[in-house]
Structure 1
Amino acid sequence: MFLEKLCNSIGPSGYEKETGKVIMSELKVFTENVNLDRMGNIVVHKNGGDNSTKIMVVSHMDELGLIITAYNEDGTLRFSPLGNVDKNSLPCKTILIGHKRVPGVIGIKPIHLQSKEEVNKSLSCENMCIDIGASSKEECKKIISLGDFVVFDNNFFYFGDNLLKGRALDNRIGCSILMELLKEDYKCDLYGVFSVQGNIGQRGVYAAAYNIDPDIVIILDAVNSTDGLEVPGYLKTIRLTDGPAIPFKGGESIFDKDIVESIRNKAISMGIPYQKVGDTQEEGELKAVRLTVDSCKIAAVLIPCRYMNSNISVCSRVDYENTLVLLKSYLEEL
């Protein structure tokens, strides 16, 4: 499965070259209309006819990670997050540093030495370090450079009842669906965009939207499922295996009602389950497109994902397949 290759590739925000090479290699099998812009976005253009309406389907290829910021005298390392990483999930996780994949462990003060106040307070990166086994600052400097990226040491795996786990399912699962969509021919003027730096301000989308100037944008991304342990019933609005979420609103921005309704109606006509969502709380690519392109209609199709913003996530293969079938059918009728 192409998704496995994507999730096992390394590409945190700002360092997406390895993941980009995996995507480019797959694209070259079936198309030559591929462009790499200055930001590093991969853009595929499929012109299916005389229809002047430009449709952009965008999915970001980067993953959450960390970046090395300083050395400690004892040979450990300081770091900062690349993206909205849940800092409480970081202690004692195994990681890989840089292109050489230097192994390490995220360390923290042992719990039996912590005060009551330290145990109860939220963690910050200042409370943690990365241990690579070096015994001094000088030894560590020979192995690690400031600015080296850090990713979590987890591989893609199938488990349970048609479930998938992986380090970078947000948003490699969207990229995998976009790849499958681009293998088909459509009668619309379609641009598929694998964007960069999605976890640090959607910077790649700004550039892609400005260059393409689309009329319609469909955001293909992951969204936090809310069906976890001890979550009150009224908050369980997005569930794994219940189909893609198709929202009306994201943060302070509103998706185009007609496009949202047309995608939802397509799902109903095909018997594909989907989840009605009022608000995703975060704007993501919606804000980037809205601020860049004038009078552009925007909608989103989001794949539920458990444990986002941590070292590993879980998605449903059924949700993946339903999202792919839904979007393929929708694009075929445009």
Structure 2
Amino acid sequence: MKERIKARFRELAGMVGVSGAEQEVVAYLQEQLAAVADEVKVDPSGNVIAVKHGSKPGPKLMVCAHSDEVGFCVKNIYPNGYIAFDKIGYVSDQLLLGRKVWITSKKLPGVIGIKAGHLQTPEESRQVKSIRDCYLDVGASSRQEVEAMGIKIGDPIVLQSDFMEMHNSDLISTKSVDNRINCAIVIELFHQLKDTAFAGTLYGVVTVQEEVGLRGATMVGNQLEPDYAIVLDTIPAGDTPDIETEKVLPVYLGKGPACPVADAAGGHFTYIHPKVRAMIEEQSEKAQVPVQYLTLIGDSYTTDAANLAIAGKGIPVGVVATPRRYSHSPIELVNLNDAEGVLKIVKGIVTDNGQKELGFL
């Protein structure tokens, strides 16, 4: 199971799928899910909806991940062939200078230029340049040459990254762990349920544009109006020397999935539904998978759960998250054992679908 997650994750992480330009990822998900779901559709905005019908009546359950990643897009092509670019989603300016990039799903190569160190003034050497002071170099000398490569305004850009296995091969460092690891989990979930009886209907959903306002979740929540939802996302791990772990972010790599009981950022607020929390706790115990519970209020963390909770007539929702270090960078680090734990808990929730009443009290 873990090796299958790893193999699909490797393929997904190598794709370019910045918010608004998720076509390559969506096409892959549609193909993979079509082999194991009763039906799969992609709505006009790119949200993937896979359906598996249970063997008897029961609640409609949505298991939800997002397909997009943070990155950039082409803002302008200068007459001399250099390129200005915009951010899509949150990327720290500290990550920009001297980086290799891929442009479009064709992975056209480029670099973010940096002034030679021996030519920098002492002040320049200490500065963090904003994106407005940065430029892309694709090895062209004119706008016409850039356009001849197939590059145009608005094209997506990501920081180049390989799929690096650490000495412990369960630890993987790459870009877009957020949230391609959970896209791989959704696919594996449907494979695991291929010959499994359960009540109700499962909607395996992969949303678009999560990184720019949880937009796909609103679209799909209003379309499907599930009885409840489990959101699969990643969550920052606080177990590095630059974070006071227990005080600020008590999440550790390798200690199991995390469950944010409450989170808030940018006007979004989520508090886990009590019955959904009870399901997560029950399946954690059944599967002997530890869960790290925490709150992240005012720490700029939120997920699709925030918009799902208020979609339609209101959807009971909870989050089961895969910890990862180095958020929104090309070296995000994940432990596949945590991902496998997420899958075991969610599979248990689907298998026991309908056994718990969903009232608030």
- Bin the TM-score by the shorter chain: over 0.9
Instruction: Say which of 206, 209, 223 aligns to 2:221.
Output: 209
Q: Could you tell me which residue of structure 2 aligns to residue 295 of structure 1? A: 314
Q: Could you tell me which residue of structure 2 aligns to residue 168 of structure 1? A: 176
Q: Could you tell me which residue of structure 1 aligns to residue 4 of structure 2? A: none
> Structure 2 counterpart of 1:271, which letter?
Q
Instruction: Say which of 142, 146, 158 aligns to 2:148.
Output: 142
Q: Which runs of 5+ in 1 are unaligned?
A: none
Instruction: Say which of 221, 224, 227 aligns to 2:233.
Output: 221
Q: Deviations over 1:87-134 (max 9, x none)?
A: 211211111112432211111334444455544444321121111111
Q: Could you tell me which residue of structure 2 aligns to residue 152 of structure 1? A: 159
How well do the aligned residues superpose, as a CA RMSD in angstroms? Answer: 1.9
Mean Cα deviation higher: 101-110 or 207-216: 101-110
Q: Is the 8 A contact 1:108 1:127 kept in 2?
A: no
Q: Structure 1 residue 49: deviation in Å?
A: 4.0
Q: Structure 2 CA distance, aligned partners of 1:48 and 1:32? A: 10
> Structure 1 counterpart of 2:187, which letter?
M
SS at match of 1:92: coil
Instruction: Say which of 225, 240, 246 aligns to 2:259.
Output: 246
Whether 2:278 is the aligned partner of 1:261: answer yes
Flag the 1:7–1:100 CA change in 2: closer, same or farther, 3 A.
closer
Q: Could you tell me which residue of structure 2 aligns to residue 44 of structure 1? A: 50
Flag the 1:254–1:121 CA change in 2: closer, same or farther, 3 A.
farther
Q: Is the 8 A contact 1:68 1:77 kept in 2?
A: yes
Q: Could you tell me which residue of structure 1 aligns to residue 31 of structure 2? A: 25
Q: Structure 2 CA distance, aligned partners of 1:56 and 1:106? A: 40
Q: Could you tell me which residue of structure 2 aligns to residue 235 of structure 1? A: 248
Q: Structure 1 residue 209: deviation in Å?
A: 0.7
Whether 2:22 is the aligned partner of 1:3: answer no
Equivalent residues, number = 334
Normalised by the length of structure 1, the TM-score is: 0.93
Q: Structure 1 residue 299: deviation in Å?
A: 0.2
Q: Structure 1 residue 261: deviation in Å?
A: 3.0
Q: Deviations over 1:248-276 (max 9, x none)?
A: 11203211123113302321343212111
Q: Could you tell me which residue of structure 2 aligns to residue 55 of structure 1? A: 61
SS at match of 1:220: strand
Mean Cα deviation higher: 311-320 or 106-115: 106-115
> Structure 2 counterpart of 1:173, which letter?
I
Q: Is the 8 A contact 1:247 1:260 kept in 2?
A: no
Q: Could you tell me which residue of structure 1 aligns to residue 333 of structure 2? A: 314
Flag the 1:119–1:255 CA change in 2: closer, same or farther, 3 A.
farther
Q: Could you tell me which residue of structure 2 aligns to residue 274 of structure 1? A: 291
Q: Could you tell me which residue of structure 2 aligns to residue 129 of structure 1? A: 135
Q: Structure 1 residue 48: deviation in Å?
A: 0.7
Q: Structure 1 residue 137: deviation in Å?
A: 3.5
Flag the 1:320–1:118 CA change in 2: closer, same or farther, 3 A.
same
SS at match of 1:22: helix
Whether 2:200 is the aligned partner of 1:188: answer yes
> Structure 1 counterpart of 2:88, which letter?
L
Mean Cα deviation higher: 227-236 or 240-249: 227-236
